Chains A and B, each alone.
Chain A
Amino acid sequence: MEAVIEVKNLDLVYDDFVVMRGLNFNVNKGEIFIIMGGSGCGKTTLLKAMIGLNPPQKGKVLYAGVSFWDGDEQGRQNIMRRFGVLYQGGALWSSLTLGENVALPLQLYSNLSGLQIQDLTLLKLGLVGLGGYADFYPAELSGGMRKRAGLARAIALDPDIIFFDEPSAGLDPLSAKMLDDLILELRDNLGATIVVVTHELASIFTVGDNAILLDADSKAAIAQGSPKYLLANSKDPRVIKFLTRGKSKEPENEKSQ
């Protein structure tokens, strides 16, 4: 399989505080990769190092073989244009309507005419089920709608890679399920590679092809592989504890929640 993202010997450090040491993993083309772990273990820090917000202290992040942090600013920009990010709270620009939020990346980086951009904006909003809300401001929407609108913006440029930061945080179970389905559809139909940061077990088992489990105490990744495989085969009590929500029940119970 072709690795789209390779993370090599990555150290994440805040000032003097070590968050994670020696991270190594590959994200393959077309898979849904989950970065999981308890609160405060450094999931979001890792994500920020991958999407170019915080430089890591040591190590490399390679996109299709090109090192992200070793290149110049222009090289980073080129890589960044290939991915979309859905932030935790949607991170919509509050002074723009939903339509304008989605249209902005298209105006910046596409060669479409104004009308085509308008059509495409409505299409993207339609894909996330917000087709009728183009003229609304983010403040007028609920949290779940804002998140979906954020997704519409993240996929505006048809990115090869989509990053999700806690997609189901703050959503009701049905909306969370809808978002999970949407993630699967995006992967299947747009052929995008997807990286999800989450600790929601339901999502992890529904969408995850491959995963890495970060542990705050050992400051390292303690497990890697498909979530279902890990649950069935892992011998590490910490992994089992995380994947069964602290009790050693059958996974089916967790999945149905």
Chain B
Amino acid sequence: MSSEKLSFDYSKSKTLQLKLSGDWQLSAGLPSVNEVLAQLDSHADITEISFVASQDFKWDSAFISLLLKLSSISKQKNIRITVQGLPPQVEKLLKLTPAQAEKIIPHKIIEESFLDGIGSRVIEVKVTIFSLLNFLGDIVLAFKRLACGQVFFRKDDFFAIVQRCGIDALGLVSLISILVGIILAFIGAIQLKLFGAQIYIADIVGIAMVRVMGAIMTAILMAGRTGASFAAELGIMQVNEEIDALKTLGVSPVEFLIMPRVLALVMMMPLLTIYADLMGIIGGFVISTGVLGLNPVEYSNHTITAIKLSNLWLGLIHSFVFGIIIAVAGCYRGMQCKRSSVGVGEATTSAVVTAITAIVIATAIITFVCQIIGV
């Protein structure tokens, strides 16, 4: 900082006179209080600090802040500060600011040891499991009441959700499924070419898509698309106290908000999966006949004979389970959302992470069970 703004005058005995000039506003920057302190250190006999402001002296609250700091330090050293030489408004503003640095209200930060950390994590897991089970129970009860025709929710909302997690997702599902079909065809081609058995590409693409790939790819897309949007929607509703408003109206948020979402997604997921299967097979077909030079009729026949009905059922079971997982993860995280913008972000992220993790685990379990019962 330039020291031309500040000069020191010792003409009066025991008094340090600070001569201020130029721009002392925060946009221009200020000399450090240490410059004055250095002077005080070198002249130990000073008992008073006074000021002279020149014509071009400009100041704002940054100067006040500097002055406060100076006065608190000089108080410790028993040095008096007189502000007569400064513009009258400085004195007024000084009076306005709290005389003493206010007592800092300690902000509670929970410090925990390593073991405490592990313990609280474990307890957290337990709490999460119980609240998740509670949540699932509420949903099951809501569906029971739905079966009895006792629930209240808006049909229009329901169809809007169906539209959003069904038809609106078709474009994305088509693109990804066709590409997956193409990838499967190329991977199959590399190996099968060695045996001259390229026609079995039809089996690979067909069985892989229908049995599991279609369902998984659709589920991952929907977790990112619909699961995240469920969590964000419900999270914002939580922040805006909309969910509280429903509760005080006597409407169960589980029936009014969550049940329609779960129902819509569980209905749409199998349909989207069948569509994805078809698109994947078409992708494989186009590559095999167009690029790899297989006979279209032969390829189609091979595909039809390869895909057994049990494969289709298996794919549908996958998609049904995935639908439940995505909807429940999204809604659960949304309902658990903390009341801040950061909370909504966390809820959305954890909805997607939870859903995708659970999808992979569920796939592993289903595959294992199929292996045992020999499907």
A interface with B by C-beta (< 8 Å): 94-95, 106, 109-113, 115-116, 119-120, 122-124, 126-127, 129, 131-139, 155, 157-158, 185, 188-191
Q: Does B32 contact A (CB under 8 A)?
A: yes
Q: Decide yes or no: A158 and B25 within 8 Å by CB, A116-B62, A123-B97 being known contacts.
A: yes
- Nearest-Cβ distance from residue A140 to partner chain B, whole angstroms: 8
Contact A158 B68 (CB under 8 A): no
Contact A120 B104 (CB under 8 A): no
Contact B340 A139 (CB under 8 A): yes
Contact A94 B103 (CB under 8 A): no
Q: Which of B12-20, B88-96, B248-256, B283-291 contacts A (4 or more CB under 8 A)?
A: B88-96
Q: Decide yes or no: A119 and B30 within 8 Å by CB, A132-B104, A136-B107 being known contacts.
A: no
Contact B89 A132 (CB under 8 A): no
Q: Does B102 contact A (CB under 8 A)?
A: yes
In the complex, A9 Cα to B127 Cα: how many Å? 61
For residue B26, which residues in chain A have a CB less than 8 angstroms away from its CB? Answer: 106, 110-112, 120, 157-158
Contact A111 B68 (CB under 8 A): no
27 A-B contacts, Cβ less than 8 Å apart? A94-B340, A95-B342, A106-B26, A111-B28, A111-B29, A112-B26, A116-B30, A116-B62, A116-B66, A120-B62, A120-B65, A126-B97, A131-B101, A132-B102, A132-B103, A132-B104, A132-B105, A133-B105, A134-B104, A136-B107, A139-B338, A155-B61, A158-B62, A188-B92, A189-B89, A189-B92, A190-B61
**Cβ < 8 Å to A, chain B residues 211-262:** none
In the complex, A122 Cα to B65 Cα: how many Å? 9
The interface residues of chain A, by DSSP majority, are classed as helix
In the complex, A157 Cα to B61 Cα: how many Å? 8
Q: Does B339 contact A (CB under 8 A)?
A: yes
Q: Does B179 contact A (CB under 8 A)?
A: no
Give how many B residues have a beta carbon under 8 Å from the other chain's beta carbons: 32
Chain B, Cβ-Cβ closest to A106 = B26
For residue A111, which residues in chain B have a CB less than 8 angstroms away from its CB? Answer: 26-30
Contact A126 B62 (CB under 8 A): no
- Nearest-Cβ distance from residue B109 to partner chain A, whole angstroms: 9
Q: Does B341 contact A (CB under 8 A)?
A: yes
Q: Does B45 contact A (CB under 8 A)?
A: no
In the complex, A136 Cα to B108 Cα: how many Å? 9
For residue B105, which residues in chain A have a CB less than 8 angstroms away from its CB? Answer: 132-133, 136
**Cβ < 8 Å to A, chain B residues 17-75:** 25-30, 32, 60-62, 64-66, 68-69
In the complex, A234 Cα to B124 Cα: how many Å? 65
In the complex, A113 Cα to B66 Cα: how many Å? 12
Contact A190 B29 (CB under 8 A): no
Chain B, Cβ-Cβ closest to A130 = B102
Q: Decide yes or no: A189 and B96 within 8 Å by CB, A111-B29, A116-B30, A119-B69 being known contacts.
A: yes
For residue A129, which residues in chain B have a CB less than 8 angstroms away from its CB? Answer: 98
In the complex, A116 Cα to B32 Cα: how many Å? 8
Per-position binary interface string of chain B over residues 340-353, scored 1 when its CB falls under 8 Å from any chain A CB and 0 otherwise: 11100000000000
For residue B338, which residues in chain A have a CB less than 8 angstroms away from its CB? Answer: 139
In the complex, A189 Cα to B26 Cα: how many Å? 17
For residue B29, which residues in chain A have a CB less than 8 angstroms away from its CB? Answer: 110-112
- Nearest-Cβ distance from residue A119 to partner chain B, whole angstroms: 5
For residue B97, which residues in chain A have a CB less than 8 angstroms away from its CB? Answer: 123, 126-127
For residue B103, which residues in chain A have a CB less than 8 angstroms away from its CB? Answer: 132
For residue B27, which residues in chain A have a CB less than 8 angstroms away from its CB? Answer: 109-111, 157
In the complex, A115 Cα to B69 Cα: how many Å? 11
Contacting A123 at CB < 8 Å: which of B25, B68, B92, B341?
A: B68
Contact B342 A131 (CB under 8 A): no
- Nearest-Cβ distance from residue B143 to partner chain A, whole angstroms: 35
- Nearest-Cβ distance from residue B285 to partner chain A, whole angstroms: 48
13 A-B pairs besides A115-B32, A139-B338 with CB distance below 8 A are A94-B340, A95-B342, A109-B27, A111-B28, A116-B66, A120-B61, A123-B61, A124-B61, A129-B98, A131-B101, A138-B340, A189-B93, A190-B60
